Amino acid sequence: MKNEFLETIKILDAKVWHPEYHQKRYESVLKHFGVCTYKKLEDFIKPPKKGLYRCRLVYTPEDIKKISVEYIEYEKKDINTLKLVYDDEIDYPLKSTDRSELNKLYEKRQDADDILIVKKGYLTDTSIANIALFDGEWKTPKYPLLKGTTRQRLLDSGKIHEDDIKVQDIGRFSKVALLNAMIDFDIIADENIKDVFC
């Protein structure tokens, strides 16, 4: 079975958003597998002229000449509540098409809109996004399951900062935001955040 990985890139009215961050992560995955020859992802993207799309590029380190590209019309899902789920063994350091571990945890969300995964007592990610919490400044978990491209861009710009955030620390924060390529920096609670977590 081949290792399959992907990049999800925002396309709005034919504009490709932040391709340099996706390119960098794509190259880092290939380097992880000892591949030192790279394609330019933008060369594979021929976006629709109008509309908001999630551009899904799938590739394998075994055959870097072939990258499949799909354009999926995007509708933002409202996420207002997060179920805390615990898994000390989960590992998702590369953006793989195999999301089986994440999907199993997502099934535990009950009535919540999404999950927030806790690993060894520390907050990590939701099923689809990195997170940031505000206590005077925006902080994101130092050890997420996946280092997202939006997270990295916001770290580079100084908008967010890394920190170890334990479950018991949640009460000291007043705001919560989700971060990914499609929603960018989406504040889902900006006053009392206790109602977000369940």
For the stretch 84-136, pLDDT in tens is: 999 999 999 999 999 999 999 999 999 999 999 999 999 999 999 999 999 99
Instruction: Please give the model's pTM, rounded to 2 decimal places.
Output: 0.94
Residue among 99, 76, 12, 83 at smallest CA distance from 48? 12
CATH number, span 82-195: 3.20.10.10
pLDDT at 159 over 80: yes
Q: Name the residue ranges covered by the structural domains of the chain.
A: 5-73, 82-195
pLDDT at 37 over 80: yes
- pLDDT tens per residue across span 11-31: 999 999 999 999 999 999 999
CATH number, span 5-73: 3.30.470.10
Contact in structure between 90 and 101 (CB atoms under 8 Å)? yes
CA distances from 54 to 16, 47, 77 (A): 10, 10, 13
| Average per-residue pLDDT for the chain | 95
* Rounded CA separation 112/92 (Å): 22
pLDDT at 1 over 60: no
Beta strands 82-86 and 63-73, pairing class:
unpaired
- pLDDT tens per residue across span 68-81: 999 999 999 999 99
Cα end-to-end distance, the chain, whole Å: 38
